[in-house]
Amino acid sequence: MHDTFLERYFRRIGYEGPRSATLETLCTLHALHPQAIPFENLDPLLGRTVALDLPSLERKLILEGRGGYCFEHNLLFSEVLRALGFSVVGLAGRVCWKVPEKTTLPRTHMALLVQLDQPFLVDVGFGGLTFTAPLRLETNIVQETLHEPMRIFRSGSGFLIQVLLRGLWESLYQFDLQPQLPVDYEIANWYLCSHPDSRFRKELIAARPDIGCRYALRNNELTIHRIGGESERRRLVSGAEIRRALETWFRLTLPEEQTVAPLLEPIARGARSPLSRSMLL
């Protein structure tokens, strides 16, 4: 870990606070990270391998102004926290957000367990509904965040996390406390970015929370969710309009036009599946 890594990261997310391993530091970083570094899956759609080594994460998410999905976000965040002196363990979970009932997905989501005076669930990479605060690992209590209230329940030998949306509790994912090794994430990461059944190979997804709202993009539909208010939906009708949305609402620095345009134009016309890799290279 080099000293400039932390400086570049803090500059990327706009953090100027203390470098101590306290709950206040953790909460501030957890709020700033997803606001500055969005969730997005452009690389799998472009047929590119998602690299999880620290130099690649630093280059993509910090220096190049890109975002990523759960492994990229939480691996980068875990390195930052460890550099500040936090005790961090990587976890894995099964997503159940917007999943049909009785459907069981593989353990392809990454979260973190951070130990302070008590354990906290930390997750800056859940794209469906990105967390904006760490959660105490306590069950059956409602925990406030900067956005929606959340809660953790016991579920079998593990836990289930839920969010309160429009008066209803919605399940996000199940997880347990079994520590994960880098090889565990590598295998799950290969599935997400390479397997033809992976959702990230089929749909354009982007998400970014901001103060008082959330921005979400699914293919050509942009949604602005206002906390405590109405949601606004817009259909983006051209590849150029999708690119502007990614650059504006999601604060992304995108690859060159000739690389991304052949991907975005079909999506704007309503085609869900990405172009073949041979057409993108």
Residue 149 maps to a domain: no
Least confident of 81-95, 175-189, 219-233, 264-278: 264-278
Residue 162 maps to a domain: no
State the Cα–Cα distance between residues 73 and 95, nearest whole angstrom.
16
CATH number, domain at 208?
3.30.2140.10
Q: Is 213 a catalytic residue?
A: no
What does DSSP say about strands 231-235 and 221-226: parallel, antiparallel, or unpaired? antiparallel
Which tens digit of pLDDT belongs to each residue from 115-148? 999 999 999 999 879 999 999 999 999 999 999 9
E strand or H helix at 153, and its extent? strand 150-155
Residue 34 maps to a domain: no
Residue 280 maps to a domain: no
Least confident of 78-82, 115-119, 150-154, 254-258: 254-258
Looking at 73, 96, 123, 193, which residue is catalytic? 123
Q: Is 96 a catalytic residue?
A: no
- According to the model, what pLDDT value does residue 128 have? 78
Residue 271 has pLDDT above 80, yes or no: no
Sequence-distant (6+) residues with CB within 8 A of 94 are: 104, 105, 106, 107, 108, 109, 173, 174, 175
Residue 212 maps to a domain: yes
Q: Is 33 a catalytic residue?
A: no
Looking at 30, 33, 73, 109, which residue is catalytic? 109
| Residue range of the domain that includes 264 | 200-275
- Band of pLDDT at residue 1, cut at 50, 70 and 90: low
Q: What type of residue sits at position 194?
A: S
Residue 19 maps to a domain: no
> What total of structural domains would you count in the chain?
1
State the Cα–Cα distance between residues 70 and 154, nearest whole angstrom.
23
- According to the model, what pLDDT value does residue 2 have? 64
Predicted model pTM: 0.93
Which tens digit of pLDDT belongs to each residue from 195-218? 988 989 999 999 999 999 999 999
Residue 210 maps to a domain: yes
Residue 223 maps to a domain: yes
